[in-house]
Structure 1
Amino acid sequence: MKQRRVVVTGLGALTPIGNTVETFWKNLVKGVSGANKITRFDCCNFKTDFACELKDYDVFDHFDRKEGRKLDRYSQYALVSTKEAVQNAQISFDQLDKDRCGVIWSSGIGGFETFETQLEDFFKNDKTSKFNPFFIPKILADSAAGLISIKYGFRGVNYCPVSACASSTTALIEAFNYIKWDKADLVIAGGSEAPITQASIAGFNAMKALSTQNDNYQNASRPFDKDRDGFVAGEGGAALVVEEMEHAVNRGTHIYAEIVGGGLSADAYHITGTHPEGLGALLSMKHALNEANLKPEGIDYINAHATSTGLGDISEVKAFNTLFNGKFDNVHISATKSMTGHLLGAAGAIEAVALVKSIETNEVPPTINSIEKDEQIPEDIDLTFGTSVSKTINVGLSNTFGFGGHNASIVMKKP
């Protein structure tokens, strides 16, 4: 049986540094920080009062009032980023077999804001407030996948993989697999998250996971830096149109990149902490490269998970060191979360868009804010501190890891 090849033909992004792919990529290469003081609620009693919020976003610019009120922010972000990806892929819906078109869309926590505000209202009013009839569908993590399929009439595979912050890379790998296995011809894959809420910020503060550099918030996300003190929360979504290669060629659409490998693994170590030697991260990268039939030295660029946490950044570096046997001659590594913040379940999709654009433009976006490497990091590893780098990128890899010990790595190359 002929091996079915899988390509990316459409991109959409709604991020703290740009509400379209074009703006997102321009600001990513320029090294623009998306951090700002939180505007959505009063943070005077919180240890952290900043995050990477969306800028110039109004729900009613995208939805009428009736529809907008039915959607949690995470579903709004899903539909908005998907619309851009669908337009970008130049899809003619009357020419598609919609039974073979699907949606695999992820979110780490789904409608968290809806859940929080509805319960707050309920208990504030002595349990007399009525629940919104849309409460349940608004909070479910799989609702966005259903909403996208309804909007575009896609009757194929449809579900929501949840693996914490590895969720949307898992969604992309699943889309790759379904097409490769001849169970679909086209899949919209991605993720969205709306975690900038009081309970979320307070909860991550309690875990000591968030940065508390309130007086230096624009520079607070500093992956690999010796003075990093936690991640910066971000919100938004990103969508990729994933398609069988001949299907894309027959449509006459532009092909951005080919997906050639995906790897999933578990740390089997701790519910929140990464394995100190990066064993799970190493295994997911190995699986992805083995499927791609590539050796580590064939990688030109890695978009690292690197959230700016003390343990997580070092465990990933240790995985890199083992994978490359301590020789980093060709590869550039960067952490785009230094600009976007950490979008939790949407992080992998945002970073997959960044990876595709890197391959397309031969540009490595920088790791901003980081000045001095942690002393545990090898001197010769190039983490692209400060400014972007132009280089030929034929093969790129993206990592995302999540609470629970979930690891996901995806490999793409020039078409």
Structure 2
Amino acid sequence: MSRLPVIVGFGGYNPAGRSSFHHGFRRVVQESLDSHARQETLAGLAVMMRLVQVIDGRHCTPDGTPLSLAEIEAQHAEAILAGTMVRRIDKRHLDVDAAHWQKNLTVSHAQFTTTRKQLPEPLPANWSIEPLDDLQVRVTLHDSCDFKVDSYRALPVKSAGQLPSGFEPGELYNSRFHPRGLQMAIVGATDALRSTGLPWAHILDHVQPDEVAVFSGSIMSQLDENGFGGMLQARLKGGRVTAKQCPLGLNTMPADFINAYVLGSVGSTGSVTGACATFLYNLQKAIEQITSGQARVALVGNSEAPLTQECIDGYGAMGALATEEGLRKIEGRDDVDFRRASRPFGDNCGFTLSESAQFVVLMDDALALQLGADIHGAATDVFINADGFKKSISAPGPGNYLTLAKAVAAAMQLVGEDGVRQRSFVHAHGSSTPANRVSESELLDRVAAAFAIDDWPITAAKAFVGHSLASASADQVISALGTFRYGLLPGLKTIDRVADDVHQQHLSLETRDRQMGPLDVCFINSKGFGGNNASGVLLAPHVVERMLRKRHGEAAFGAWQAKREQTRATAQAYDQQALLGQFEIIYNFGHDLIDDQELQIDEQEIRIPGFNQPLRYRKDERYRDML
């Protein structure tokens, strides 16, 4: 009997803000919320963005005057909305109007003065040197020589999904020399763990040391100056490579940081890379580990910080990104609204890069009931298929038809035909490229027809938070959990209407938020360059509870509900502190190190210092019939 992977916590940070307790989702649908929920989320963002101070647990102006939630909304809502989600790129990332580069300059038959230590080695044959003093020399060029000179240019791409303005994850803990993606991984994983309402040590006491799994990474590695970017640029800029840039640049480092500094885990770990479907690839690994019993708890997520000039140049050179000129042509005016740069299934011209760190905490159903964990849904399946032979590595292919059809068929076996046909929705990849709006809408429409689904509700998280590459499908999953919680399906509010070439005979796409009836299942669809296709099945909490009641019986179910009250109270206490800017980042550098000389090893088990339970060797009968 397979164990059910239930979602007991989720969190992180993306352009909509903090994800735990659905605050990022609430930012997206803020105009459709009741006043208290809207004002609470806006106040939390105001604190993150340093628009409001917190003094003695109260929101205040800089001079200490207390502010109510309604006053915060009245005074700062405009700045909060303008400083979140997709928007013009902030200068904290780079100046898109004056991006630095080096221009080649050829100089002939010239003289200049420099210091001896700045002379190149070896000296070019067409240079002659005249000493001026102990330090200075005069150089004469007898022919031509190429120099690189600082220059600045405007980038054609000027929009991106960015963390809320004023919020710097590296300032929340001792992050010296950490690339931004790893800073985001630390704070994002902390948010997800805190959201469970269960102390990590308490969880560890109930599992063996190797029954923990972490799957996390970033497809672009860490490309800022503290990672691979600095390593590759150092010598070209006349500097030196540091000892940290190479190791901290690895794309697996988010998982490594979480194990070493957040969880102290000795369990399974890794990072599966699948282009823009990477989160679902890692989620599949976690599902496999939990359903098979190899792991009982798993932290899955990705952290991506691609807002560098190099990434923008790279994707821009492919013609994949929305440019200022392209948006100007779409809108038919010179004044571009960069907040509407990401336009899934509408008239569009390319996708919009984004930064995001998103994580979910999974447990098997028995452990969740034993601990009284809150349950936000279940991740039952992820299907992955390639495209076969391809003419263009970036072009779509048949693989996504296979993944989505298998996901729908699997869900029908769990929630029934009516559950899928009447109470399901899709979080589409929705990359905002002209090719995607046609190919993915045709895919969705054909699969809907094959399974007799009419008016299939479709939404796309990239309309609000942009395309965060490895974290993109995690943005979709956490948004889907918000829909389960509030019954609101975000509209595609960055477009005026669905494009004429979008297939929608069996689909339902809206530009406004929709209040839905009870929804049983969400399909997470993701497509990646190179033929990396993945579709996931996400079950709603009420469906999961029905399954748990049947499997474990009324007595166990009732006991879990009683324990869950304390869990929810603890989780809510964290949420209230985080709304006031107290994020309680977990960063254990050099604490509780394990001396491998103290391991106690025998034929039955391994005792590891600091862990309550031993690691017991598993009985392996996989090949018994062959022995």
1:82 aligns with 2:189: yes
CA contact (8 A) 2:304 2:469 kept: yes
State the Cα deviation string for residues 224-253 of structure 1 (Å, max 9, x = none): 11x200011110110000110111110101
- Give the aligned partner of residue 449 of structure 2: 325
How many Å separate the matches in 2 of 1:20 and 1:261? 23
Over the aligned positions, Cα root-mean-square deviation in angstroms equals: 1.9
1:135 aligns with 2:245: yes
Using a 3 Å threshold, how does the CA distance of structure 1 residues 162 and 298 change in structure 2: closer, same or farther? Answer: farther
Q: Percent identity?
A: 25
- The runs of at least 4 consecutive aligned structure 1 residues that moved more than 6 Å come to none
Moved more, 242-251 or 320-329: 320-329
- Give the aligned partner of residue 472 of structure 2: 347
Match for 1:312: what amino acid?
N
Q: CA deviation at 1:328?
A: 4.6
Moved more, 92-101 or 193-202: 92-101
State the Cα deviation string for residues 376-413 of structure 1 (Å, max 9, x = none): 22454211323343332111111111111101111111
Using a 3 Å threshold, how does the CA distance of structure 1 residues 159 and 379 change in structure 2: closer, same or farther? Answer: closer
Query: How do 1:213-252 residues align onto structure 2 when only pairs under 5 Å count?
Result: 213=327, 215-225=336-346, 227-252=347-372
- Give the aligned partner of residue 291 of structure 2: 180
Moved more, 377-386 or 315-324: 377-386
CA contact (8 A) 2:429 2:460 kept: yes
Using a 3 Å threshold, how does the CA distance of structure 1 residues 398 and 42 change in structure 2: closer, same or farther? Answer: same
CA contact (8 A) 2:441 2:504 kept: no
Moved more, 38-47 or 310-319: 38-47
How many Å separate the matches in 2 of 1:379 and 1:165? 24
Match for 1:82: what amino acid?
A
TM-score, length basis structure 2: 0.62
How many Å separate the matches in 2 of 1:379 and 1:243? 37
- Give the aligned partner of residue 35 of structure 1: 86
How many Å separate the matches in 2 of 1:298 and 1:153? 44
Count of residue correspondences: 404
How many Å separate the matches in 2 of 1:354 and 1:42? 31
How many Å separate the matches in 2 of 1:211 and 1:379? 24
How many Å separate the matches in 1 of 2:221 and 2:25? 26
How many Å separate the matches in 2 of 1:115 and 1:297? 47
Using a 3 Å threshold, how does the CA distance of structure 1 residues 328 and 120 change in structure 2: closer, same or farther? Answer: same
Larger CA Rg, structure 1 vs 2: 2
**Matched residue of 2:361: which SS?**
strand
How many Å separate the matches in 2 of 1:34 and 1:308? 15
Query: How do 1:136-175 residues align onto structure 2 when only pairs under 5 Å count?
Result: 136-150=246-260, 151-175=262-286
1:289 aligns with 2:430: no
Moved more, 249-258 or 317-326: 317-326
- Greater relative contact order (Cα < 8 A, sep 6+): 1
How many Å separate the matches in 2 of 1:84 and 1:73? 17
Match for 1:223: what amino acid?
P
1:116 aligns with 2:237: no
Match for 1:177: what amino acid?
E
Q: CA deviation at 1:298?
A: 5.8
How many Å separate the matches in 1 of 2:400 and 2:422? 18
How many Å separate the matches in 2 of 1:365 and 1:99? 39
Q: CA deviation at 1:355?
A: 1.4
1:257 aligns with 2:377: yes
Using a 3 Å threshold, how does the CA distance of structure 1 residues 74 and 388 change in structure 2: closer, same or farther? Answer: farther
- Give the aligned partner of residue 59 of structure 1: 169
How many Å separate the matches in 1 of 2:404 and 2:504? 22
Match for 1:198: what amino acid?
Q
- Give the aligned partner of residue 3 of structure 1: 2
Q: CA deviation at 1:208?
A: 0.7
How many Å separate the matches in 1 of 2:195 and 2:406? 31
**Matched residue of 1:192: which SS?**
strand
Q: CA deviation at 1:374?
A: 2.1
State the Cα deviation string for residues 80-104 of structure 1 (Å, max 9, x = none): 1110111111233333223211101
1:196 aligns with 2:307: yes
Using a 3 Å threshold, how does the CA distance of structure 1 residues 298 and 122 change in structure 2: closer, same or farther? Answer: farther
**Matched residue of 1:77: which SS?**
helix
How many Å separate the matches in 2 of 1:111 and 1:338? 25
- Give the aligned partner of residue 534 of structure 2: 408
Give structure 2 stretches of 5+ with no counterpart.
32-80, 98-153, 329-335, 545-627
